[in-house]
């Protein structure tokens, strides 16, 4: 799982930072998942090492322009470039109406199928390898944070041990590699996990923007390997943060601390913290690290590969629980 920041400014682009967009590359699937798509995202993709043709899913946090103005342009360019791969899009209502209106009044005919899913707190996507859930954040318009969970995988399969146990090679090995319970032709029941090494613990990435500090963000980020959280304002401008329902650097750090994440990466910085101003982005980093030391600052095209977890102490791990508001 590899994270690439395509835009790290809030509200408007600057000379060095575009508006919000984040890509998660999944090499094992040959796919790229996009989170938000601010104006100019397609230009940022062209300047990166990511392949637009691999984008299969786009997750939108909310419908403010700095998070969606690049969406139709990107989709249209994909069609003109002959990228016929279908795309699934997720986000709050009325995202479907927005896309329909943009394509209608710009006379855009997409050469591939898009499917729009309006999200609500809970699971929004799941396959054999990944689970994506969301929860409502606290902003001026309906906004959602997303949690991407890579499911645990069984450890390396011990072929020699299987042969020594008299288990003949064949399709049954695939079931054993997944750690499943298998009944052999002679009636023996074999637990696949007994033939596998230490399990490979799935990684977790959480993306929270735009929001002020809220309990749902903490719950969503619980035990994450990486929390990507907005930090629009410096701590001394907390009044502005409360007025506009955005986070300060210290709010992002408090969320990371409360959720016990491994790493916090801050993004979505106000242009007011440009170099040479009384407060700079490096000051926001110092503020956050005073609360949560393992904090990094995102910048455009910053790429971070989430390291694999190799902890076999499953008895100490709680099962994955997806928050669902009623």
Report the sign of the C-alpha dihedral through residues 103, 106, 107, 111, in that order.
negative
Instruction: List Cα–Cα distances, 152 to 133, 227, 314, in angstroms.
Output: 16, 19, 10
CB-based contact 34:59 (threshold 8 Å): yes
Q: What is the DSSP letter of 61?
A: -
Active site residue 135: no
What is the signed CA dihedral for 171, 177, 181, 185, rounded to 10 degrees?
30
β-strand partners of 159: none
Helix (H) or strand (E) holding 173: helix 172-177
DSSP line for 187-217: S-EEEGGGGB-S-BBPPEEEEE-S--S-HHH
How far apart CA 273 and CA 113 sit, in angstroms, is 41
What is the signed CA dihedral for 64, 66, 72, 75, rounded to 10 degrees?
-120
Of 66, 135, 210, 300, the active-site residue reads: 66
Q: Pairing state of beta strands 55-59 and 87-91?
A: parallel
How far apart CA 68 and CA 73 sit, in angstroms, is 10
Q: List the catalytic residues.
A: 66
């Amino acid at each position: 799982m590899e994270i690439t920041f395509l835009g790290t400014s809030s509200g408007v682009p600057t000379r060095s930072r575009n508006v919000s967009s984040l890509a998660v590359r999944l090499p094992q699937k040959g796919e790229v998942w996009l989170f938000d798509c601010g104006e100019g995202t397609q230009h940022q993709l062209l300047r990166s090492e990511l392949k637009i043709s691999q984008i299969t899913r786009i997750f939108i946090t909310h419908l403010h322009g700095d998070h969606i103005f690049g969406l139709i342009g990107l989709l249209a360019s994909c069609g003109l470039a002959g990228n016929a791969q279908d795309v699934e899009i997720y986000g709050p209502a009325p995202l479907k109406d927005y896309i329909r209106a943009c394509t209608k009044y710009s006379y855009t005919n997409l050469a591939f199928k898009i499917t729009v899913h309006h999200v609500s707190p809970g699971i929004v996507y799941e396959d054999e390898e990944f689970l994506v859930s969301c929860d409502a954040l606290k902003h001026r318009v309906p906004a959602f944070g997303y949690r991407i969970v890579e499911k645990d995988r069984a450890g390396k399969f011990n072929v020699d041990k299987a042969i020594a146990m008299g288990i003949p090679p064949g399709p049954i090995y695939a079931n054993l590699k997944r750690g499943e319970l298998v009944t052999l032709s002679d009636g023996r029941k074999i637990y696949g996990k007994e033939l596998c090494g230490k399990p490979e613990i799935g990684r977790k990435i959480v993306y929270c923007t735009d929001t002020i500090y809220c309990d749902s963000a903490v719950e969503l980020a619980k035990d994450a390997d990486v929390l990507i959280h907005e930090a629009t304002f410096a701590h001394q401008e907390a009044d502005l943060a409360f007025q506009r329902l955005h986070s300060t650097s210290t709010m992002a750090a408090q969320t990371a601390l409360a959720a016990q994440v491994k790493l916090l990466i801050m993004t979505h910085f106000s242009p007011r913290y440009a170099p040479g101003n009384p407060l700079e982005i490096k000051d926001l980093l110092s503020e956050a690290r005073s609360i949560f030391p393992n904090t990094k600052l995102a910048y455009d095209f910053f790429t971070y590969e989430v390291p694999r977890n190799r902890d076999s102490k499953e008895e100490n791990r709680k099962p994955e629980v997806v928050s669902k508001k009623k």
